[in-house]
Structure 1
């Protein structure tokens, strides 16, 4: 019997390669009465057919935009107390989430937080990348979507959800939440695909990510930044 209900909200767009691994890892959450909501941006591959047996609700949200998809998932989960926003290529241990993290959030009256991250590839440089990502998140109080975002329904509503911008919606909502309460940097790790680093090159991807964050901090439009990100 659960006291507080969790909704795990996953945005997708052509994620058939990864979505099954993400969803299977979360089935214990469903067994304990929590729900999984998949919000698709119009996939043209087998994402929806693969995911259907493993989720409680599917929401179709087009045209695709991650912030809009995440907000649509939260709207569908209005009866839940906690939201966990999770990328389709990020794997989380459900037992750790249920046995340690949710009770800790409840007992300590935490409003929001994010996980540490481990990248899936074996290249030693990825260990450096993930270390810097984790350290930066705890130093700045700003997480990224790859780390997962756990937030109470009340805190999410108080900041008006994700700003529906083309990019950096994770940075923007973390900044808004941080103004209400410092984040909880969860020591447990999620496993996130390193496909972008491996496909585009580790050094090139690091430079791109830092350039985008700096440009956003200086006020460059997310619509313009989205063109760089592609």
Structure 2
């Protein structure tokens, strides 16, 4: 039987985590969900108090870093499908059934199409581009499902990356031609764009992709992100 372990890396997500957990429980079937795992990287904003209200949620602490947090969550997951989800991304109704249907078809990894909770024209266009199958249109905000066996076989998330860990894993999956894009909308927050400025942040993201394409290693990408975005 196919069952999903939902793994959510968290760091100071008091504004989103309650709504997300409620959303997940209301938009999935209990029989399809093996566990929901929160892996915290050192929250200080009351996120932990919110999570503690959910007795069915598994909770672990980890050193800060999404790759480290998600790998730790995968270590304790009991489902045969892993679903990595950012704390401010809300998957579509019946996301569990949609994922399991794709796995049954032989698609062992993939994501949903994504839209931002924003009316900014560029962000709306960026969302539409996620409908395409191109690797360049992928990112961690779209969420990521992968069978547990493939995740372990492919080498898990590379913990050298502070950022770009999702894209690094996705690249390895594309190399294997093992990725499907489910044409149902996931909605994610545009908060980072409004904090940094839409065009400024988009420029930084393009530079990061270009640097990686030109051979930059994880340390160089981390330094660039920390200097201009963090």
TM-score (norm: length of structure 1): 0.90
Question: Is the CA contact (8 Å cut-off) linking 1:10 and 1:38 kept in structure 2?
Answer: yes
TM-score (norm: length of structure 2): 0.90
Question: Is the CA contact (8 Å cut-off) linking 2:107 and 2:178 kept in structure 1?
Answer: no
Cα distance change, pair 203–224 in 1 and its aligned pair in 2 (3 A)? same
Q: How does 1:81-230 map to 2 (within 5 A)?
A: 81-93=80-92, 95-106=93-104, 108-135=105-132, 138-140=133-135, 143-164=138-159, 165-229=161-225, 230=230
In 2, the alpha carbon distance for the partners of 1:71 and 1:189 equals 26
In 2, the alpha carbon distance for the partners of 1:49 and 1:39 equals 14
Shift of 1:225: 2.0
**Bigger shift: residues 33-42 or 8-17:** 33-42
Tell me the equivalent position of 1:39.
Answer: 39
**Bigger shift: residues 110-119 or 181-190:** 181-190
Question: Is the CA contact (8 Å cut-off) linking 1:141 and 1:182 kept in structure 2?
Answer: no
Secondary structure of the corresponding residue to residue 17 of structure 1: coil
Secondary structure of the corresponding residue to residue 26 of structure 1: helix
In 2, the alpha carbon distance for the partners of 1:142 and 1:75 equals 28
Count of aligned pairs between the two proteins: 222
Shift of 1:66: 0.7
Secondary structure of the corresponding residue to residue 176 of structure 2: coil
In 2, the alpha carbon distance for the partners of 1:206 and 1:92 equals 23
In 1, the alpha carbon distance for the partners of 2:158 and 2:113 equals 24
C-alpha deviations, 1:55-99, integer Å up to 9, x for none? 52101002x01101010000010x311000000100113x42133
In 2, the alpha carbon distance for the partners of 1:186 and 1:133 equals 10
Where in structure 1 are there 5+ consecutive unaligned residues?
none
Question: Is the CA contact (8 Å cut-off) linking 2:208 and 2:221 kept in structure 1?
Answer: yes
Shift of 1:152: 0.5
- Provide the aligned C-alpha RMSD in A: 1.8
In 1, the alpha carbon distance for the partners of 2:9 and 2:221 equals 20
Question: Is the CA contact (8 Å cut-off) linking 1:112 and 1:149 kept in structure 2?
Answer: yes
Secondary structure of the corresponding residue to residue 94 of structure 2: helix
In 1, the alpha carbon distance for the partners of 2:193 and 2:39 equals 25
Question: Is the CA contact (8 Å cut-off) linking 2:29 and 2:96 kept in structure 1?
Answer: no
C-alpha deviations, 1:87-119, integer Å up to 9, x for none? 0100113x421333312321x111100111110
Runs (4+) off by over 4 Å: none
Question: Is the CA contact (8 Å cut-off) linking 1:67 and 1:162 kept in structure 2?
Answer: yes
In 2, the alpha carbon distance for the partners of 1:179 and 1:129 equals 24
